[in-house]
Amino acid sequence: MKKRIYIKNLKKYIGKEIEIYARINTRRDQGKMIFFDFSDSTGTVQGIVLPKSAAMQDAKKVRENFAVLVKGNINERPENNKNPDVPNGDIELEILKISTINTSETIPFPLEDTSDINENIRLKYRYLDLRSERMKKNVKNRFRVQQFIRNYLADRGFLEIETPLLSAPTPEGARSFVVPSRLDTGKFYALPQSPQQYKQLLMVADFDKYFQFARCFRDEDSRGDRQPEFTQMDLEMSFVSEEDIMRLNEELLITLVKELYPEKKIQEIPFPRMTYNDVMEKYGTDRPDIRKDKSDNDLLAFLWVTDFPMFEKVADDNNFDEAKNWTFTHNPFSKPKDEYITDFVSGENIENILSTQYDIVLNGFEIGGGSIRNHNPDLLRKTFEIMGYDQKRIEENFGHMLEALSFGAPPHGGIAWGFDRLLMILEKEKSIREVIPFAKTGEGKDLMLDAPDRIAEKQLEELMIKLVNE
Ligand code: ASP
């Protein structure tokens, strides 16, 4: 097979005859001459069919969005036709032959600027939408940022370790998506809301520097810019303090911005830190946008928020006024700060107990959060007792964690970044859907494959599931 020539490299072939595989982005028939814009995954180039060219007949037949094989000469453009603002703006492809590899229907929306196109149409035809320059850039940069983080952490001794997607249902926290088991009829797996328990179990297993680009699933009511599945950059380490985790993450973020987004400016280094109480008092929110110039999208204002309360009151479902039980604010596995352990153990002054939880905020968005974990099983049990669980419920829901911690678990802690959100800010997009290649709608629908969808009666039978019509 001949080595394929990519459009971004065409400049190397000035004065030569070459062949490229390309898509026709635009075609302007001027009668005697025809102009084209061709693209492949690497770039774009202008093509021209000169008057009386042998390629003219075929060039009259091809249409926009056809996949073609083009043979031609790479010529330097005459000085007055050069366009330094576009890639390959100083060369053009003089077409000698153009052959159709596959034809195309007219596509449902133009790709030059998709920002005003109805988003549902873009999502239904995502594979076309992804051909646009902007979405191509977002997908490529998503990969570049992931790759950067992977290399950075690997260089520092971290392992990326995959954890299961078919996991155990837990009654706590946000709602999980469940998956019925056929072999064990009547039972269900749950898709993980985060790899929290697995990553802690990896610490027990002595993999003391773990990370993962982890797909997480939360079945929440559609609320603003949420996706039912999203990606976390999840990380955990053993024998560390809050300071260690925060410093590592801060350095990673700074290096990432400097290397991959040099045009951006970080407002303050080291990142400022505020306690939850202070931030609430000053801004009335725990994720304030502290940019000095809020219209500057290249300004990045990171902020650590620390010292979150460990518990808050929950109202029961029917009576929101009457808060009865305590629940955790962020993560039941977090450890209270040392100075509150006495109150924690005796179950006193619960509202005042502060946790080791830290959140990282960027330009008004929470882009990550984590904590030092409660690695002592007796102390962890206390958290659930404060939440009003009896021993049976604790055993049922968390017995496996308490048992694991009893085998010499090292002290550990970690963090998870909302990777889509970080990328959205770095790419100056308004929604995380713009940086997720195959995003779902705000209502959690995949318009392209039409999911969620009904399943066949036979499948339901095999799963012993009966739908009840109300
Ligand atoms: N697993 C936690 C979350 O998803 C983050 C962490 O504490 O590492 O919010």
**Ligand 1, atom 6: closest residue by C-alpha:** 370
Average pLDDT, the chain: 95
Could you tell me the pTM of the whole model? Answer: 0.94
Q: What is the pLDDT of residues 94-114, one digit of tens each?
A: 999 999 999 999 999 999 999
- Give the percent of the chain with pLDDT over 70: 97
Q: What value does the mean pLDDT take over residues 299-316?
A: 93
Residues 174/218, Cβ–Cβ less than 8 Å: yes
For ligand 1, say whether the CB of 46 is within 6 Å of any of its atoms.
no
What integer pLDDT is reported at residue 26 of this predicted model? 96
Would you list the DSSP string of 281-305? HHHSSSS----SSTT-TTEE-EEEE
Phi, psi dihedrals of residue 248, rounded to the nearest 5°:
-60, -45
Q: What is the pLDDT of residues 381-426, one digit of tens each?
A: 999 999 999 999 999 999 999 999 999 999 999 999 999 999 999 9
**Band (358; pLDDT cuts 50, 70, 90):** very high
Pocket test for ligand 1, best of 194, 305, 412 (most atoms within 8 A of CB): 194
The atom number, within ligand 1, closest to the CA of 232 reads 4
d(CA 194, CA 163): 10
The atom number, within ligand 1, closest to the CA of 196 reads 1
For ligand 1, say whether the CB of 203 is within 6 Å of any of its atoms.
no
For residue 332, report the distance from its CA to the centre of ligand 1, in Å. Answer: 10
- Give the Å distances, CA to CA, from 182 to 174, 187, 451, 464: 25, 8, 21, 8
For residue 330, report the distance from its CA to the centre of ligand 1, in Å. Answer: 8
d(CA 119, CA 448): 12
**Band (325; pLDDT cuts 50, 70, 90):** confident
Q: What value does the mean pLDDT take over residues 292-320?
A: 88
**Band (302; pLDDT cuts 50, 70, 90):** very high
**Cβ neighbours for 254, distance < 8 A, ≥ 6 positions apart:** 266, 269
Length of the chain: 470
Q: What value does the mean pLDDT take over residues 23-43?
A: 96
The atom number, within ligand 1, closest to the CA of 333 reads 7
Picking from 318, 344, 430, 336, the residue whose alpha carbon sits closest to that of residue 374 is: 336
User: CB-side exposure of 355: number of CA atoms within 13 Å?
Assistant: 29
Residues 319/392, Cβ–Cβ less than 8 Å: no
DSSP SS3 for 252: helix
The atom number, within ligand 1, closest to the CA of 370 reads 7
Does residue 318 carry a pLDDT above 80?
no
For ligand 1, say whether the CB of 331 is within 6 Å of any of its atoms.
yes
For residue 415, report the distance from its CA to the centre of ligand 1, in Å. Answer: 6
For ligand 1, say whether the CB of 196 is within 6 Å of any of its atoms.
yes
